[in-house]
Structure 1
Amino acid sequence: MNRRWKGDDTGAALPMVLLLVTVVAVVLGALLSFADTSVRTTVNLRDQAASAYTADGALQAGINAIRTSTFTGAPGEHCFGGSDTLSLPNFGGAGSAAVTCTADPAKVQIQCPSLSLCNRPGSAILTLGTGGEDGLNIQQPTGSSFKVHGVVYSNSNIRVVNGSLDTNTAVYARGACAGTIRSAPAAACGYGGSALGADPGYAPALTSVPPHQNLPTCTKSGSLITFQPGFYDDAAGLSAMMSSSSKCKDSTWWFTPGTYYFDFHNSAAVRPSSLPGGDDVWTVDNGFLVAGTPVDDSGRIIAKPPVPAKIPGACDNPIDDAKAVGVQFVFGGDSRLAVKAGQAEICGTYSAERPPVAVYGLTSGAESPVTATLVPGSVTGGFTGTAASLSKVDGGGVTWAAPDKSGGHATLTAAGFSPAAAPPAGTILTSAKVRVVHGNDHGASKDSRSAQFTPTGGSPIPLSLSTPNDGSATTDVTDVTSQLAQAVYDGTFAGGQLGYTVDVKHDGTELVDALQLELTYTPPALRAESGCTQLMYTSPAACALVTAVNNSGNRFYVQGTTYAPKAVLDVTLNNATEPIFRFGVVARSLWVKETGSVTFTGAVIEVPDDSPGFVFGVYLSAYVCPGAGPCPLSGTPVARARVAYVDGDPTNPVAGARQVSVLSWSGNR
């Protein structure tokens, strides 16, 4: 039995061996097939990578070729000299390459549908005056350098007295240049034209005058004094508050985010009693002015600025924060700002469509004086007639007849005299006259009459009346300007009532023909800069919109764009430690004085590097082929790119000086 089972075991081993051999063969075959596929895949991936790297390098070569040329996409031009194809034989590990170029006919701008809707100024300094004064005047010690980051463009001349003007890019002047100017390329003086020399025409944040604001209460030194957005017209009050003799000296003057309109009327010939006389210059001579959203030393937003504030760096800077909400200081008329012994930092508001203009000088708008004849709306008393009959001088009016030859007494009360639209707060009343036309057909010298006008909520104002004795009507006019000016200025004038009393010693008829209140006033308006701000700066009577002194103790910084195309800016620097005008300056004329030792080595005025100016775009496609080429320009390109180029002056491009922005990059791999 044991022998039988031994023979059966020996016979069963053969099928098992055959099965094992088959399995091993199948596995080995699969492994060999996988290894072969892997090798082929590795080779293919390596070839694809080489092709991709070659295509990327070819696109970069095409981008650089245009960067170092003067091609602008104008009709008839070719991207690469005489052709729109750049051939690159034996280029990279994949063989050869070729790049085709198609110009973007739209000539778009990065983030800029138009110059006025661009959120970066085209120049760091742009002066728009065309003669009669220096466009840019720089006075400094010998050996000093006034540094600017960005294009400098003057529509007239540039005068550098001692030292040098240095910029990292181009300088242009339509007129002559005097002094040392260092730029790349060399300064173009007597220059014929450029779109960058045009006024960008930025619109103000205001379309109408905001509500009038009174100055905040100021009683204690070292306080936080808070201002709200609106219309301010009292330069003398602001200056007194921010002086070293003020009872709230050494305070932080916080202008909360929003738009402020400064149109000072201290020099007006006729003013209300609450508006002191003086010039229209707001002088910061003490304390710390912070305008915008306050931040701490780390740039974190805080509820309110400290006392004292640390300037610069006290408000959220729109150059660094795309969420920054700041202010716009708008100046009208001959209103001016002078920063002398105080410190000031003004931060604008970020926008994706326009520069963060922080200081704005109005270029248009005018006051429109209003003349109104106000009449009563109702009458009561012993006279016969209607209120409507008192509105004009026509012999009608209201009448009262004496009861007998011994005469009598009568009164008339006329109420109303309300303007159709109440003059808004801040209105300047230039004339107010009450007109009373009256008579008696048996007038006598012994008759007596009196009248008074009582403004709503105010005190009675006696009126001057004469005694008619010839039977004809007489007109009496009383000037009440000084008595009504404050109510009109406060925006509380709402008419009033006129009381008329007569006593006669005879019979006859008393006539009151007309009762009128004639007002002439000037409501607040957005006014173009005027007065001394419009005189050539060579005139002793001329004045600058902004006059600032910047040294170790006195500081003035604008974190945003300064736009005052019809005004002069005059800044004196001594030991500046930061850029004072960031994000560019547009003015009629700019005067800068550097005194003493200037240790700051950075740019005093700057515009960010990504300032787009005018740009043109191209579409690039890269083709790759084996061998020495040339590559056929057919099929699907290995890589594509859309690229924009920025020229400081689009009418005079400088090879190698233009900026490059890659708008898109894609590959087919």
Structure 2
Amino acid sequence: MRDRIARARARGDEGAALVLALIVITVVALSLTALLNLSDTSVRTTVGLRDQVADTYNADGAMQAAINNLRNSTYNHNAGQHCFGASDTLQLSSFYGSSSAAVTCTADPKKVLIQCPSLSQCNRPGNAILTLGKISGEDGLNIQQPTGSTFRVHGNVFSNSNINVVNGALNTNANAWARGSCAGTIQAVPAADCNIGGASNPLGDDPGYLPAASIAGLPHRTLPSCTTPNSVIRFEPGYYDDAKGLSDMMSSSSSCKGSTFWFPPVYDGSGKPAATGVYYFDFHNSGDNANPLLNSNGGDVWTVDNGYLVAGTPVNSAGAIISTPPVRPTIPGSCDNPINNGNAIGVQFIFGGESQLAVRAAQAELCGTYDSNAAPVALYGLSSGSETPTAWADASALKLDAVSRAGGFGVTASPSSLSAIDNTGFATWKSTSKNDSTVMTVDGFVPPSAVPAGSVLQSAAVKVVHRHSDPASTEKFDVTLKVKPSNLTVGDSITIPANSGAFRTDLIPLDAARTGAIADAIYKGTFSGATITLTPNLANPAKTDLLDIDALQLELKFTPPAFRAGSGCVRTGPYTGTGSTSCALVSTPNQSGNQFYVQGTTYTPKAALDITLNNAAEQVFRFGVVSRSLWIKETGSFSYGGVVIEVPDDSPGFVFSLYLSAYICSGAGPCSAGGAPVLRSKVALVDSNPMAPSPGHRQVTVLSWSRPG
């Protein structure tokens, strides 16, 4: 019994040992597996980290190569430039071992930078105020304000005639010069230098700014629809010639009174500002070469007497660009200002001829376009240029190309017999009774070139070269002209007394008042030819009287749009602030609520400006004023105590920043610059002269250096 128990216990111990052995083997196996997996992961991690470190080192090297490339370049983010020569991507093939790299470059939006290495290389005027006139009896600078007031300027003041501070004081933080006398209190640093006569000083010279466009690039514009009050009325860049129409639109009795009148820059297809919006105002309501199609009431003065005029890229109160300005915008601050934003794209208002702008009970703000190489001229008065009439007359007269009705002339009436004046080939009609007549209709008279829209008709006439065989009888020609493509007609007649019977030339005037179908087609630029119906009458001739017509032609004379120098009262001096003989190109009469701001340079070298300050909330003229004569009047309600006219100070250096992204790829490249970069960096370039960066001497500052992820 004891033996059986012992044997059973022995067998039980053997089973337990087997289970224990299996457990030990399993634990060891699992441990070895985990250890092997850990070892494999560690190896793979080490390899991955080694590759990542290699890519990082390669990216660091590529980034440094790109920065060195920029340091040794002349890239300064001017239009048409690329960071790395012909491209904004620098490819570095086989840059390190079997790896290649690519570095992309994107310029950060530019800051406003003012640099003037010389007066000829400057993106602001040399003076806050420069008056160029030297007309006897006309003040160069006239300041009228309440006693005890101070008119403040930031920048130089230079008058090529005199300075007349009627009341109060003129204060500037810089120099003040006058070739003539100075009257009143002038506070300048150093003291004002007056009566300098003809002493040489380039700051007194006309900077000679050029307009931002030519007339060829400015289409003639009709006024936009004006039907709803308190709305936004959008204009388009181009040429405007109707002062009366503009004034009526911006009056208190207008159908769109209380509106925002928006003059935008040029926008691209994606709806972003792309180029300066140039608006040329050459009014032809009265004065030289007036257009009878336009209402002459009010002359050539555009009066803004209601609403809000916003000229430039609209912005909100934070300065961010918005799609359109609101109704009742905040002025000043309604448009992108080039003194605050190096990317500002605005407008340029150009005035020619006798055109004038008067801002009365309204608010107006003009914003120019920032340029690192030129002053941001927002308001421009032309000092040169003239109209050149076009004459399709004499040898250039318009000729027919078809005869649609020959009448009694029969087969003798043809384009070849009626086009040229040669006294040999001609059309012949033989009368068959006394007081006989016939009808001939001809077509053609196609102009050699398109008539520019906005042209003003000067004269129109049908020229008939003719003779008849009975020298004792008289002739009468009735003419009807149908204008193409409108098919509107004009007509007239002429009676020719008895004559010798030799060929003679007579002109039959048409549209003499210049308000009919021909004038309208010339003005709209739609004239493309004409149909002329000629009805000759032979008064009391013998039955055998013959009428020969050697030529039937159309003569047109018109004046196309052109840049015209200021003329009439705008150009006439002396300007004294009163009277009608001389007038200011821009005036802001003393009326409640009116405000006028130019965020850019004002340039009217042959015209006077007359500005009344009543409700100004900040600087009125930013980036300086250049004019023939400048009159400033502060009313008793003017409370702004800051600088009214200024030019910005020079920036300490020309600084702009770039975003660089480095990409690494295996093989000889080129590398794709897509996906996540290995390294990103932001660097700044500093040049002492923005117009001519010096390769190898540029200062580079690394602003950030980061590895995405």
TM-score (norm 2): 0.67
The CA distance in 2 between the partners of 1:119 and 1:405, in whole Å, is 81
Structure 1 position 277 matched with structure 2 position 296: yes
Change (3 A) 1:488 1:116: farther
Which amino acid is 2:567 matched to?
A: S
The answer to whether the Cα contact below 8 Å between 2:417 and 2:427 also exists between their aligned partners in 1 is no
Structure 1 position 231 matched with structure 2 position 251: no
Q: What is the Cα deviation at residue 565 of structure 1?
A: 1.0
Structure 2, unmatched stretches of 5+, are: 1-112, 266-276, 654-685, 690-696, 701-709
- Alignment RMSD: 3.0
1:500 to 506, 511, 534: 534
Aligned pairs for 1:225-304 (under 5 A) are 225-257=233-265, 258-268=277-287, 274-278=293-297, 279-304=299-324
Which residue number in structure 2 is paired with residue 524 of structure 1? 561
Which residue number in structure 1 is paired with residue 520 of structure 2? 486
The answer to whether the Cα contact below 8 Å between 2:345 and 2:370 also exists between their aligned partners in 1 is yes
Q: What is the Cα deviation at residue 318 of structure 1?
A: 0.7
Change (3 A) 1:427 1:502: closer
The CA distance in 2 between the partners of 1:585 and 1:532, in whole Å, is 21
Q: What is the Cα deviation at residue 356 of structure 1?
A: 0.8
Change (3 A) 1:276 1:404: closer
Q: What is the Cα deviation at residue 247 of structure 1?
A: 1.4
Which amino acid is 2:557 matched to?
A: T
The answer to whether the Cα contact below 8 Å between 1:252 and 1:287 also exists between their aligned partners in 2 is yes
Structure 1 position 601 matched with structure 2 position 655: no
The CA distance in 2 between the partners of 1:313 and 1:406, in whole Å, is 80
More displaced 10-residue stretch of structure 1: 145-154 or 395-404? 395-404
The CA distance in 2 between the partners of 1:446 and 1:430, in whole Å, is 30
The answer to whether the Cα contact below 8 Å between 1:424 and 1:523 also exists between their aligned partners in 2 is yes
Structure 1 position 331 matched with structure 2 position 336: no
The CA distance in 1 between the partners of 2:644 and 2:445, in whole Å, is 58
Aligned pairs for 1:183-202 (under 5 A) are 183-191=188-196, 192-202=199-209
C-alpha offsets along residues 40-60 of structure 1, whole Å, 9 cap, x if unaligned?
Answer: xxxxxxxxxxxxxxxxxxxxx
More displaced 10-residue stretch of structure 1: 502-511 or 544-553? 502-511
C-alpha offsets along residues 184-239 of structure 1, whole Å, 9 cap, x if unaligned?
Answer: 11111123332111111111101234110001110121111100000000011101
More displaced 10-residue stretch of structure 1: 194-203 or 539-548? 539-548
2:245 aligns to what SS in structure 1?
A: helix
Which residue number in structure 2 is paired with residue 650 of structure 1? none
The answer to whether the Cα contact below 8 Å between 1:550 and 1:556 also exists between their aligned partners in 2 is no
Which amino acid is 2:310 matched to?
A: V
Which residue number in structure 2 is paired with residue 377 of structure 1? 400
1:345 to 365, 374, 391: 365
Q: What is the Cα deviation at residue 445 of structure 1?
A: 5.7
Aligned pairs for 1:418-497 (under 5 A) are 418-442=446-470, 450-456=478-484, 457-466=486-495, 472=501, 473=503, 475-481=505-511, 482=514, 483=516, 484-497=518-531
1:387 to 412, 415, 418: 415
The CA distance in 2 between the partners of 1:135 and 1:271, in whole Å, is 31
Q: What is the Cα deviation at residue 552 of structure 1?
A: 6.3
Change (3 A) 1:309 1:110: closer
Which amino acid is 2:521 matched to?
A: A
The CA distance in 2 between the partners of 1:417 and 1:323, in whole Å, is 50
Which residue number in structure 2 is paired with residue 537 of structure 1? 575
Which amino acid is 2:127 matched to?
A: S
The answer to whether the Cα contact below 8 Å between 2:384 and 2:564 also exists between their aligned partners in 1 is yes
Which residue number in structure 2 is paired with residue 208 of structure 1? 215
C-alpha offsets along residues 124-161 of structure 1, whole Å, 9 cap, x if unaligned?
Answer: 11111124211111011110000001111111111111
Which residue number in structure 2 is paired with residue 12 of structure 1? none
The answer to whether the Cα contact below 8 Å between 1:345 and 1:558 also exists between their aligned partners in 2 is yes
The CA distance in 2 between the partners of 1:312 and 1:322, in whole Å, is 19
1:365 to 385, 401, 413: 385
The CA distance in 1 between the partners of 2:142 and 2:631, in whole Å, is 5
1:464 aligns to what SS in structure 2?
A: strand
Q: What is the Cα deviation at residue 111 of structure 1?
A: 3.8
Change (3 A) 1:470 1:537: closer
The CA distance in 1 between the partners of 2:625 and 2:292, in whole Å, is 38
Percentage of matched positions with identical amino acids: 53
The answer to whether the Cα contact below 8 Å between 1:136 and 1:591 also exists between their aligned partners in 2 is yes
Structure 1, unmatched stretches of 5+, are: 1-108, 614-640, 645-662
Q: What is the Cα deviation at residue 436 of structure 1?
A: 2.2
The answer to whether the Cα contact below 8 Å between 1:144 and 1:163 also exists between their aligned partners in 2 is yes
Which residue number in structure 2 is paired with residue 569 of structure 1? 609
C-alpha offsets along residues 324-345 of structure 1, whole Å, 9 cap, x if unaligned?
Answer: 1100001111111110111000
The CA distance in 2 between the partners of 1:296 and 1:288, in whole Å, is 15
1:218 to 210, 226, 229: 226
The CA distance in 2 between the partners of 1:468 and 1:496, in whole Å, is 28
Q: What is the Cα deviation at residue 422 of structure 1?
A: 2.4
The CA distance in 1 between the partners of 2:306 and 2:543, in whole Å, is 72
Which amino acid is 1:248 matched to?
A: C
The CA distance in 2 between the partners of 1:301 and 1:434, in whole Å, is 56
Q: What is the Cα deviation at residue 385 of structure 1?
A: 5.2
The CA distance in 1 between the partners of 2:474 and 2:460, in whole Å, is 30
1:488 aligns to what SS in structure 2?
A: helix
Which residue number in structure 2 is paired with residue 122 of structure 1? 126
More displaced 10-residue stretch of structure 1: 582-591 or 187-196? 187-196
The answer to whether the Cα contact below 8 Å between 1:407 and 1:506 also exists between their aligned partners in 2 is no
Which residue number in structure 2 is paired with residue 617 of structure 1? none
Which residue number in structure 1 is paired with residue 665 of structure 2? none
The answer to whether the Cα contact below 8 Å between 2:282 and 2:351 also exists between their aligned partners in 1 is yes
The CA distance in 1 between the partners of 2:264 and 2:114, in whole Å, is 32
Which amino acid is 1:118 matched to?
A: C
2:442 aligns to what SS in structure 1?
A: strand
Q: What is the Cα deviation at residue 115 of structure 1?
A: 2.6
The answer to whether the Cα contact below 8 Å between 1:367 and 1:525 also exists between their aligned partners in 2 is yes
The answer to whether the Cα contact below 8 Å between 1:383 and 1:411 also exists between their aligned partners in 2 is no
Which amino acid is 2:315 matched to?
A: V
Change (3 A) 1:388 1:188: farther
The answer to whether the Cα contact below 8 Å between 1:564 and 1:588 also exists between their aligned partners in 2 is yes
Q: What is the Cα deviation at residue 463 of structure 1?
A: 3.3
2:584 aligns to what SS in structure 1?
A: coil
Q: What is the Cα deviation at residue 369 of structure 1?
A: 1.4
The answer to whether the Cα contact below 8 Å between 1:376 and 1:414 also exists between their aligned partners in 2 is no
The answer to whether the Cα contact below 8 Å between 2:482 and 2:488 also exists between their aligned partners in 1 is yes
The answer to whether the Cα contact below 8 Å between 1:172 and 1:187 also exists between their aligned partners in 2 is yes
More displaced 10-residue stretch of structure 1: 444-453 or 425-434? 444-453
Which amino acid is 1:199 matched to?
A: D
1:121 aligns to what SS in structure 2?
A: coil
The CA distance in 2 between the partners of 1:213 and 1:324, in whole Å, is 25
Change (3 A) 1:402 1:172: closer
The CA distance in 1 between the partners of 2:430 and 2:135, in whole Å, is 76
The CA distance in 1 between the partners of 2:129 and 2:536, in whole Å, is 73
Which residue number in structure 2 is paired with residue 48 of structure 1? none
The CA distance in 2 between the partners of 1:151 and 1:470, in whole Å, is 75
Q: What is the Cα deviation at residue 462 of structure 1?
A: 3.0
2:372 aligns to what SS in structure 1?
A: coil
The answer to whether the Cα contact below 8 Å between 1:429 and 1:522 also exists between their aligned partners in 2 is yes
C-alpha offsets along residues 64-95 of structure 1, whole Å, 9 cap, x if unaligned?
Answer: xxxxxxxxxxxxxxxxxxxxxxxxxxxxxxxx
The answer to whether the Cα contact below 8 Å between 2:461 and 2:507 also exists between their aligned partners in 1 is yes
Which amino acid is 2:322 matched to?
A: I
Which amino acid is 2:240 matched to?
A: Y
Change (3 A) 1:447 1:528: closer
